[in-house]
Amino acid sequence: MNRRQFINRSATVLALSSLAGREAFASMAPAPNKGRIGIQLYSVRDDLPKDFLGTLKKLAAMGYSQVEPYGFTEEKFFNYTMKELSKVVGDLGMTISSTHTNSGLLPEDMNDPKWDFWKKCSEYLKSGGGKYAVQAGFPGGRNLTVDELKRIAAHFNRVGEVCKKGGIKFAFHNHAGELRKVEDEVILEFLIKNTDPELVFFQMDMGHVVNGGGDCYQYLRKYPKRIAMWHASDFHAINRVYTLLGKGSAPYPAMFEIADSTALEVLTIEQETRTNVLAACKSDFDYLKQFKWTQVL
């Protein structure tokens, strides 16, 4: 089941949320959570439909300062507009950093009505205080050519232009598949090298990089100004499983040593394990809070 299906399936449940429940949360006004550790809400996708507000409250209590919604292809996320969601998480001491969203390749003519998708996405995200609209899926198939990669890079440039005009930034989130080669070109590197650094940013998912056989640390060294966002996940290269942060093969201590020399702006945990997810999210937060970069306000 994909991210959008999770949202649609949960809409009925959330529609039953009482106005009194929302007002109770709205009456809470703690100081903003300190630190710079956010969480991708897809991590708790099984918990949100059962208790949306309660799950957010638990994440805030762990210390998370930012949230990143997922599957945002329409105006609402679990029956909340971005502006409404911003108020809800704000009352818990958190902010919206970004959102995962998605579109396929759009026509080169940016006057085509299909481009309204990114125009509206920019408008909605900005209304909630978010800064980055993140393309969470690769808009290409398995049998790619370099010419098709060039078309995708040009598409990303156009998306970045629309987002910039809308007052936000555009980023691409990789999965393991983007570490494969097309005619001797690693897809992720090709996109980094062939997109406009003023328009296209990258959210590197560390666990997926390891899964795809890449070296997170070397990417940060090679492209320090292009990777503005980290998705903190972990993957055990020998056991071939996603795991808790610090228990896999992603070299977080080494990466945080050079974090200040990179473009890192937004740090977001995505927990890929499915057993006792909230406990895993707490473990991940506690692991990351040891690093100096995460503690800066």
Average pLDDT (76-93) is 96
The pLDDT tens digits of the residues spanning 237-251 come to 999 999 999 999 999
Of the candidates 98, 102, 174, 92, the one whose C-alpha atom is nearest the C-alpha of residue 131 is: 98
Say whether pLDDT at 39 is over 60. Answer: yes
pLDDT for residue 29: 54
The pLDDT tens digits of the residues spanning 115-162 come to 999 999 999 999 999 999 999 999 988 889 999 999 999 999 999 999
The pLDDT tens digits of the residues spanning 18-31 come to 344 454 444 445 67
Residue 124's identity, in one-letter code, is Y
pLDDT for residue 145: 96
Average pLDDT (200-214) is 98
The pLDDT tens digits of the residues spanning 219-278 come to 999 999 999 999 999 999 999 999 999 999 999 999 999 999 999 999 999 998 888 999
Domain count, the chain: 1
Average pLDDT (94-122) is 96
**Euclidean distance between CA atoms 179 and 69, whole angstroms:** 25
Average pLDDT (29-51) is 92
Q: What are the CA-CA distances from residue 105 to residues 102, 118, 150, 198 (Å)? A: 10, 12, 12, 20
pLDDT-above-70 percentage for the chain: 89
pLDDT for residue 13: 44
pLDDT for residue 27: 47
Average pLDDT (283-290) is 98
**Euclidean distance between CA atoms 173 and 221, whole angstroms:** 18
Say whether pLDDT at 86 is over 70. Answer: yes
Structural domain of 74: 3-295
Which CATH number covers residue 30?
A: 3.20.20.150
For residues 123-151, b (16+ Cβ closer than 10 Å) or e, as one string? Answer: ebbbbbbbbbbbbbbbbbeeebeeeebeb
> Which DSSP state fits 258?
S
Longest dimension (CA), the chain: 58
Residue 222's identity, in one-letter code, is K
Of the candidates 196, 262, 179, the one whose C-alpha atom is nearest the C-alpha of residue 228 is: 262
pLDDT for residue 160: 98
Q: Tell me the whole-structure pTM to 2 decimals.
A: 0.89
Extract the runs of DSSP E, i.e. beta strands, from 102-258: 132-135, 169-173, 181-182, 185-186, 200-205, 229-232, 234-236, 241-243
pLDDT for residue 106: 96
In the predicted model, what is the mean pLDDT of the chain? 91
Length of the chain in terms of residues written = 297
